[in-house]
Chains A and B, each alone.
Chain A
Amino acid sequence: MMEGSVGDRSGINESVIIKACFLAVKSHKSAVGYIKETGTDETVIFAFSGSWSVQDFYTSKPFGETKIDVSLFPSIKSIGNNELAMIYHGFFCRFQSVLQNPSFQNEKYTRSGNRPPCKCVTFGSPLVGDRIFTHALNRENWARFFLHFVGRHDIVPRITLAPFSSIRNEFHHILDFLNPNSRNFQKSSSLTSQDASAFFNKVLKNASSVASHDACNLMGSTNSLLEIISSFVELSPYRPSGTYIFCTGNGKMVHISNPNSVLQILFYSCQPDDESQVINTAKRSLCMDYINELNDSLLGMQDVVYLDDKMEIPLSSNGYDAASINTALTDLGLQKLENERMIDSNIPIIEKTQDLIAKYKQTCEDRRIGYYDAFKMQKDSEDFRENVRRLELAGKWDEIVEMLKRYELPDGFESRKDWIELGTKFRKLVEPLDIANYYRHSKDEDTGTYLRDGGRPKRYKFTQRWREHALRLKEGSSSETTFWAKVEQIRRKPFEETKEQIVALEKEVHEWVQKNELEKDVFLEKSTFAEWWKTLPERHRSESCLKGFNQKYLYNIQARLLDSSKNYQ
């Protein structure tokens, strides 16, 4: 087991954490919503104040969620599925008001080049984002920059698991009680124990729903009762993300970074020992003093249990058996790794099949016919064989897409370099065959063009997005593999109607050729493209940016053919 202090693990010095906690509490009195101070080791700390108005919490929907603004957070989405994360609308509004604050905009620390990445330490923060949010943080490998301290009984980190409608009656009393700026702050006379325990019960019950629902799904329950009950109740979309440190209240800490385990422990650790303890636990759930707690547990000898080590850890104290919950859930997390292992085992066969298709492409070119056109004609049994290969590959890639759609692969899968490369190769090589097949069977007449919404198979959309995200390219900029579909679409219409599209396509082709993204087969004499282009009016062709290409490419290919025939001799 890897030992180490919280500071060593997180890369944030303990004294900085305590200072940050102190500033976080202090910031509640700030007028502009944040304060800034320099910590012991030159670390600059920004502390953002909390809020105690109901409006800042709940807006319209039962859970007050909104789609994240991708212009501010371009990576907080899933890549292939292209689903945007949902975040808490009320908190986002608070963030925006700080962001627009002129004094904050003048902070030179907000964005700078070579500093180590910023880190985020929270103390009793409510959940902010949904599962896509968590997925994106994991994929970008940013989860390690977020460190959340949560008191074992602190109710606030659990609040957003309950719909507003369920806690409407008590919520503003609770907020008033928690508000350091209120005269009722932590005054037991201001909050009845009925209100406190009613609030506690409702939040906990909803936390139980979310935790047990997710656990059922993780365990792969096939019982359709689960699905049917789910359609009767609305579950909170919010899920934990980043690394959590639970403070147990007796100087001990539990450190967990598996978000599924965190969710379960958020619920289980807050449960009272038995029904008679409800009122006591409810009271404790509203009085969490992070400064004291962290002073006790962070300074001096630390007593931390790291649950990330996938090991059975005997936890003798207070019957708080988070360890076994975690072991169980890590096991469940292994399902994703298992899926990944299975998908990875396909790599050699995918590579082999793709190589065979590449060989087919080469043979076609040697016969001076583009493989797109050869495949579209399906004259020889060889073409048929390639069709079987195309189907085999499609099956393998579709399986990956299906798993991604349901988030059944590890969060980092879509940023794995080997798969992005393999996917790009696959797309470049095989998508033309899919298009050829599509137009060979006139599918455009059945269901519309290949490029319409939903016409292009997801296996190509996904792999294209992977590449674009990895290389930080503009969305859609790597669509050269749909070239043939564009040609097929345009050539079915009269020149006059499509003139602008033609010019645009020619421009794209020009660019792709420059970048070496389009291959020579496109320009072979008998190719669908060349044949069609020759039918365009002379005037247009003579002004086109592709004017010189046809000749040049033909020449190159002839030269290469000559080369290869020399080798044979």
Chain B
Amino acid sequence: MEAEASSFETSEMLARFLGSTPLLPESWNLCGRSNVMAPQSFLTDEVGGVTYVAFSGVQSVDGLDPFCGNLVPLAGVFPVDAGMFPALEDTVMVDAGLLHLFWTIFHTPVFQNQMFEIKKKQKPVVFTGHSIGGAIAALSSLWLLSYLQSISSPPTVICFTFGSPMIGNEPLSRAIQRQRWGGNFCHLVSKFDILPRLLFAPLAPITTHLHNLLKSWHLTMNSPFFFQDPGNQLGDHEKSELFHFVLGYVEATARSPGTNLSFVPFGNFMFCSSDGAVCVDDATAIVRMLYLTFASGSPSSCIDDHLEYESYVGKISLQFLNRTEEEICESNTRIGRTPNLNSANLAIGLSKITPFRAQIEWYKESCDQSDDQLGYYDSFKLRGASKRDFKVFMNRIKLGEFWNSVIDMLEKNQLPHDFHKRAKWVNASQFYKLLVEPLDIAEYYRSGEHRKKGHYMKQGRPRRYKIFDKWWREREAFRENDNDNNSVSISGSGSNNRRSKFASLTQDSCFWAKLEEAREWVEKVSSESDPRHVVALWASIEKFEQYARGLVDRKEVSIDVLAKNSSYTIWVEELRVLKLHSQHFSTQIPGILDRKVVP
């Protein structure tokens, strides 16, 4: 694949760029200090306006295995937007032992205070840690990134780990990719270090070895100047067993990619050796590199290299003093023109599908003016077998395919990194959503999917719309509405002017899905016998009624909503009748209709 090849070529240049900044030396510096001074805890420091938080790599001085190699679900731990993390519910899993360590630190008042300060200051943050401290840093970053999702202009978060074990499974890696958080994680892995590869192997057979290994590492890390303690080292035979055992599993993983791995890398891996460094963000390439570099090591180097990050960081930040132009030139000779070209080709694609969209607009208008006065939602839902309806049906599918392919390319990093912030695409996707989602909802209820799967809002909404919601929410105030080549307006949410006429498109694209649920409530409420359920149903109905009336009053709905025979108009009428009808019972159920608080 061209795209993969090109991203691999920038890897050295990217490592060079990172190496020229003070980020790595500052991070490592604090990691080293926290190893010595803050076992089982962390240190913070502020350098040049950046807050550094380093977690000690010494988390269990008694040598108890800090991780168990067992995965547990992460669900419910992080305050994430459930809609954006569809996989999170039960499939995202992390190592139970590492999660426990994170949890212990997270609940300390010191940590809570630090996080409070960070959230308040809105300054950039670096989470970092050596060894197991790196895993805690990664979990902390994940937590803060999830938290910051709900905040406008959040501070930048980056996580540097040094020789950290892997922390989670494939769904975690995928979720991070979908959130476009891969760039917030940079794992430094030295050529031979065993720890980052360890969790490819089952731990049970090597528990004793590990126990001793961690003990000796911790003693060394915990002593200033990394004095090696000769007494506690593993014997040559044990080292060799450990190395070959892990190597076997790393090799197996690398040779058969895509098999059901328990632990999977995520984010960027910066592989360092004495010759230089590369940054890689493709998971398959990372696994391959993890294997190839490890295989060239030896039983003793795989253990010693875990303690060599000091010298690697030094070399990386001095690499600008070494002329390695061959390497640079070689990597430069092939050109990574794909992302921009992809983006340009997509733009052509967009202009090609624009007529499809315009036809749907035309369809909407003709429905709105038609004699049956159904509005385009109901017209489409109740459509017959006319050629025109079929065409709209096909256009809807073509548009959906196009937008799915856009999202797919973005998630595979085949588009410029700021693609989803470009006004043209944000506006075009929003307009598409407002125009076409009602048709998708209509199709969903027309084909009875809701009876099979449940309501659209919960089960049926295509992921693309949720993503477009996010783009729209996060759009940088492009004060300019300009590249908007949409023929119907997208209102800026903050516009103070009251509309003098109805919007061209209903501003909440899920309006019809919400109505479908409200229809069901109205149906149910008359047949429901349990008074508690009746109360709950009435509350929901009233909530929707208020919401819908609000939209109508503010003229944020398109005219089709109010068409004489539209589902909404019919629903309003049904509700009126129902209310009249149920006034007879209002003595029985006081407080429902006149909105008093129900105890």
Most buried by B among A221, A274, A447: A221
Q: Does B582 contact A (CB under 8 A)?
A: no
Q: Does B371 contact A (CB under 8 A)?
A: no
Q: Does B61 contact A (CB under 8 A)?
A: no
Q: For A447, list chain B residues within 8 Å (CB).
A: 481, 489, 491-492, 495
Q: Does B202 contact A (CB under 8 A)?
A: no
B183, A226: Cβ atoms closer than 8 Å:
yes
B487, A221: Cβ atoms closer than 8 Å:
no
Q: Does B482 contact A (CB under 8 A)?
A: yes
Q: Does B17 contact A (CB under 8 A)?
A: yes
Q: Does A7 contact B (CB under 8 A)?
A: no
Q: Does A525 contact B (CB under 8 A)?
A: no
Q: Does B237 contact A (CB under 8 A)?
A: no
B333, A223: Cβ atoms closer than 8 Å:
no
A residues 440-456 touching B (CB-CB < 8 Å): 441-443, 445-448, 453-456
Pick from A209-217, A247-255, A289-297 the stretch touching chain B: A209-217
Given A233-B21, A268-B325, A275-B321: A228 touches B158 (CB 8 Å cut-off): yes
Given A220-B337, A226-B183, A231-B124: A446 touches B497 (CB 8 Å cut-off): yes
Q: Does A224 contact B (CB under 8 A)?
A: yes
Pick from A69-77, A145-153, A390-398, A541-549 the stretch touching chain B: A390-398
A441, B358: Cβ atoms closer than 8 Å:
no
A342, B344: Cβ atoms closer than 8 Å:
yes
Among B183, B355, B478, B497, point to the contact of A228 (Cβ < 8 A). Answer: B183
Q: For A391, list chain B residues within 8 Å (CB).
A: 351, 354-355, 358, 485, 487
Shortest C-beta distance, B182 to chain A (Å), equals: 6
Most buried by B among A278, A392, A446: A446
Q: Does A355 contact B (CB under 8 A)?
A: no
In the complex, what residue of chain B is closest to A331 when comparing beta carbons?
B335
B487, A228: Cβ atoms closer than 8 Å:
no
In the complex, what residue of chain A is closest to B267 when comparing beta carbons?
A225
Q: Does B533 contact A (CB under 8 A)?
A: no
Chain B 1-43 interface 0/1 with A at a Cβ cutoff of 8 Å (1 = within): 0010011011001101110111100000000000000000000
Q: For A445, list chain B residues within 8 Å (CB).
A: 497-501
A215, B332: Cβ atoms closer than 8 Å:
yes
A205, B354: Cβ atoms closer than 8 Å:
no
Among B6, B415, B503, point to the contact of A219 (Cβ < 8 A). Answer: B6
Q: Does B339 contact A (CB under 8 A)?
A: yes
Q: For A272, list chain B residues within 8 Å (CB).
A: 321, 323
A327, B481: Cβ atoms closer than 8 Å:
no
B residues 446-503 touching A (CB-CB < 8 Å): 478-485, 487-492, 495, 497-501, 503
A402, B424: Cβ atoms closer than 8 Å:
yes
Q: For B495, list chain A residues within 8 Å (CB).
A: 446-448
A215, B481: Cβ atoms closer than 8 Å:
no
A220, B323: Cβ atoms closer than 8 Å:
no
A225, B14: Cβ atoms closer than 8 Å:
yes
- Determine the distance from Cα of A54 to Cα of B325 in the docked complex, in whole angstroms: 34
Shortest C-beta distance, A441 to chain B (Å), equals: 5
In the complex, what residue of chain B is closest to A455 when comparing beta carbons?
B481
Q: Does A4 contact B (CB under 8 A)?
A: no
Shortest C-beta distance, A449 to chain B (Å), equals: 11
Pick from A115-123, A124-132, A333-341, A420-428 the stretch touching chain B: A333-341
Q: For A263, list chain B residues within 8 Å (CB).
A: none
In the complex, what residue of chain A is closest to B268 when comparing beta carbons?
A225
A387, B487: Cβ atoms closer than 8 Å:
yes
- Determine the distance from Cα of A454 to Cα of B495 in the docked complex, in whole angstroms: 14
B residues 310-345 touching A (CB-CB < 8 Å): 318, 320-323, 325-326, 328-329, 332-333, 335-341, 344
B7, A223: Cβ atoms closer than 8 Å:
yes
- Determine the distance from Cα of A456 to Cα of B482 in the docked complex, in whole angstroms: 6
B residues 178-206 touching A (CB-CB < 8 Å): 180, 182-184, 186
Given A215-B332, A398-B483, A408-B340: A225 touches B281 (CB 8 Å cut-off): yes
A324, B422: Cβ atoms closer than 8 Å:
no
B279, A225: Cβ atoms closer than 8 Å:
yes
In the complex, what residue of chain B is closest to A456 when comparing beta carbons?
B482
Q: Does B430 contact A (CB under 8 A)?
A: no
Shortest C-beta distance, A465 to chain B (Å), equals: 14
Q: Does B580 contact A (CB under 8 A)?
A: no
Chain A 398-431 interface 0/1 with B at a Cβ cutoff of 8 Å (1 = within): 1101110000100000000000000000000000
A271, B491: Cβ atoms closer than 8 Å:
no
Q: Does A301 contact B (CB under 8 A)?
A: no
Among B184, B318, B339, point to the contact of A222 (Cβ < 8 A). Answer: B339
- Determine the distance from Cα of A268 to Cα of B180 in the docked complex, in whole angstroms: 33
- Determine the distance from Cα of A394 to Cα of B492 in the docked complex, in whole angstroms: 21
- Determine the distance from Cα of A201 to Cα of B320 in the docked complex, in whole angstroms: 9
Q: Does A174 contact B (CB under 8 A)?
A: no
Q: Does A557 contact B (CB under 8 A)?
A: no
Most buried by A among B180, B415, B416: B416
A392, B355: Cβ atoms closer than 8 Å:
yes
- Determine the distance from Cα of A196 to Cα of B9 in the docked complex, in whole angstroms: 35
A441, B268: Cβ atoms closer than 8 Å:
no
Shortest C-beta distance, B589 to chain A (Å), equals: 42
Q: Does A496 contact B (CB under 8 A)?
A: no
B16, A208: Cβ atoms closer than 8 Å:
yes
Given A229-B21, A273-B323: A221 touches B7 (CB 8 Å cut-off): yes
Most buried by B among A225, A226, A342: A225
B480, A458: Cβ atoms closer than 8 Å:
yes
B residues 489-545 touching A (CB-CB < 8 Å): 489-492, 495, 497-501, 503-504
Q: Does B347 contact A (CB under 8 A)?
A: yes
Chain A 180-207 interface 0/1 with B at a Cβ cutoff of 8 Å (1 = within): 0000000000000000000001001110
User: Can you list 18 contacts pairing A with B, beta carbon distance less than 8 Å?
Assistant: A208-B16, A219-B6, A223-B279, A232-B126, A268-B323, A271-B320, A271-B323, A324-B329, A335-B337, A338-B341, A388-B354, A391-B358, A391-B485, A395-B351, A395-B485, A398-B347, A399-B347, A447-B481
Knowing that A275-B322, A441-B487 are A-B contacts, what are 17 other residue pairs whose CB atoms are under 8 Å apart, sorted by A's residue number? A219-B335, A221-B336, A222-B7, A223-B10, A225-B183, A228-B184, A233-B23, A321-B329, A338-B341, A396-B351, A398-B483, A399-B347, A401-B483, A402-B422, A403-B344, A454-B481, A459-B482
9 closest Cβ pairs, A-B complex: A224-B183, A395-B351, A328-B332, A394-B485, A454-B480, A208-B320, A212-B17, A221-B10, A225-B183
Residues of A within 8 A of B (CB): 201, 204-206, 208-209, 212-213, 215-216, 219-229, 231-233, 267-268, 271-275, 278, 319, 321, 324-325, 327-329, 331-332, 334-335, 338-339, 342, 384, 387-388, 391-392, 394-396, 398-399, 401-403, 408, 437, 441-443, 445-448, 453-459, 461
